[in-house]
Chains A and B, each alone.
Chain A
Amino acid sequence: MKSRYETAKNVFIDSIDIDDYIELNSSVTAYQQLQHSMEKPLKMILLFGRPGTGKSILLNRVYEKLKYQKEIHYFDTPAPTEKEFFQKLFKVLTQQDLPKNTEVNFSALIDFCKNLRGKREIVILLDEAQMYDAEIMEKIRLLSDTRAVKFVVSLHKTEDEDLIAKEHFKSRIWEIIELKNATKEDQSAYVHKKLLKKNLFEIANSIKAKDMKLIHQFTNGNYRECNKLMFTIFEICEYYDKNEPSKINYSHIPQKIIEMSALKLGYIHV
């Protein structure tokens, strides 16, 4: 027999699937801010934040919402080489495949973009931009200077600060949107809404405010870490439900299980 916790566990598999998008106060604000910035005559927008703060899912959400209204393209994975990146870009801009055994002439591409000004308004969402090297980023900047292509660049905020953000784009980016870790309330709403979306009302109800406080403490409000922790919690619950039902309380998630999950994921140590 399938455990009730199995479904709950799968709710927290980390993905950027638009169906998994949860509308929270903070995410709605970020979405509106991004949309508003895209409507301005900006050349580049920087979406900034620590890993797991919801940058990718926000870009995906923007893409899905606007793809029928705007000429918008989502580059979710960075191209491994400069050549491949410009091949991809060429296709987006020219709406044609690059002929085989040819390479993109960057100067020609710039000229092409200049000709597009006033005719088309292209938005390119670049996820994981910290993986692009400085040379590509400089070329992206030159393309954005044509004002025919608008780039939304999403990158991680790292400990030593991003060279890309600091050096290459600081003077040129017109808007920076920073995503932060969730507050306790936001994270609580996130977990509950995610479960309710799958009609897991009883399980959602079994996670009390005290449990959420602990979960927030362990994950620092990071959505990705929260997903990992919730997945592990329900994984352990599922085990007990199947093998040792006496050890599980269906009315609330025992603190023991939350701590065991935190131990397993290395948030706490013996």
Chain B
Amino acid sequence: MYDIKPLEEEWKKYQLKKRKPIYLVLFLLTLLIIIFFSVLNFSSVNKYIDNVNNKSIMSKKVNKSSLLKNNALSRLEREEYDKNINTRDDLTIDKSLDVLVDIPILDATDNIGTNNNPHKKIYLDIIETSSAKAYEDVEKRFKQSQDIDDALFLAKSYYKKHNYEKAEYWAYEVNKLDANLEESLFIFVQAKVKLGHIPESISILKSYITKSNSEEAKKLLYKIENNK
């Protein structure tokens, strides 16, 4: 009788060897497809998460609207930004009260007036660089997206970098998008103080206090009036 079994086994091994390149190519193709779709899904999920985050931030801000019933800065004219007034260097503010002096650009524990409003996206975007190019990128992005987080980030960053004109400009941009955000109002007022627009700053703050009765705003007003 013909001993066929060993030959069959050998043939199975041969088949495996013959198909090895095909299996390898299939495996690589599958891997590539998986990687491709993973990347695709990851970016979609990221976009989705960003959208959800933006919505929740916005909704939180809307909830805070009880603080600012009226747009405190609505009366501010855009031309104010273009006025050339010398910076007032002698203006000092008590650090324990000043909510702007220690604006932490890269610090996620930022609590200025928005205890429940983390700007995670900003920190994520910028965490790898602090170059001027990064700020330009955020500015460009803002022009397209009109994202309030980007504008707020720029306002805070420019303030910290002592670029008060730009800080004022971006705080104003934030206010245009969300008139109820106290944080942007404080940056705006503080920048004005630094630029020497003290009476105007006081006027804005008083107007805001009338509407909101904000304790933080009162403290800031006290500091400005007493030149602290």
Contact = CB atoms under 8 A, between A and B. Distances in A.
Contact of B8 (A243, A260, A269, A270): A260
B228 interface: no
Interface size class on chain A is: 10 to 19
A205 B8 CA distance: 25
A260 B2 contact: no
A201 interface: no
Contacts of A260: 7-8, 10-11
B14 A268 contact: yes
Nearest to A259: B11
Interface string A181-215: 00000000000000000000000000000000000
A264 B1 contact: no
A100 interface: no
Contacts of A2: none
Contacts of A243: 1, 4
A144 B106 CA distance: 105
Which one of B1, B4, B13 has the greatest number of beta carbons of chain A within 10 Å? B4
A165 to B, nearest CB: 39
B17 interface: yes
A256 B7 CA distance: 11
B80 to A, nearest CB: 86
A239 B4 contact: yes
A270 B4 contact: no
Contacts of B17: 270
A236 B4 contact: yes
Contacts, number: 30
A259 B4 CA distance: 13
Interface string B68-86: 0000000000000000000
A263 interface: yes
A225 interface: no
Nearest to B15: A259
Contact of B2 (A239, A259, A269): A239
Interface of A is mostly: helix
A239 B13 contact: no
A270 B2 contact: no
A88 B11 CA distance: 50
Contacts of B15: 259
Contacts of B2: 235-236, 238-239
Contacts of A240: 4
Contacts of B4: 236, 239-240, 243
B60 to A, nearest CB: 69
A236 B4 CA distance: 8
A111 to B, nearest CB: 60
B1 A270 contact: no
Contact of B13 (A235, A256, A270): A270
Interface string A70-87: 000000000000000000
A263 B1 contact: no
Contacts of A238: 2
Nearest to A244: B4
A236 B2 CA distance: 8
B6 to A, nearest CB: 10
Interface string A220-243: 000000000000000110111001
A270 B14 contact: yes
Interface string A244-270: 000000000000100110011000111
A239 to B, nearest CB: 4
B14 A259 contact: yes
Contacts of A264: 7
Of all A-B residue pairs in the complex, the 7 with the closest CB atoms, nearest first, are A239-B2, A270-B13, A260-B11, A270-B14, A260-B7, A263-B10, A239-B4
17 contacts: A236-B7, A238-B2, A239-B4, A243-B1, A243-B4, A256-B11, A259-B14, A259-B15, A260-B7, A260-B8, A260-B11, A263-B11, A264-B7, A268-B14, A269-B14, A270-B10, A270-B13
Interface of B: 1-2, 4, 7-8, 10-11, 13-15, 17
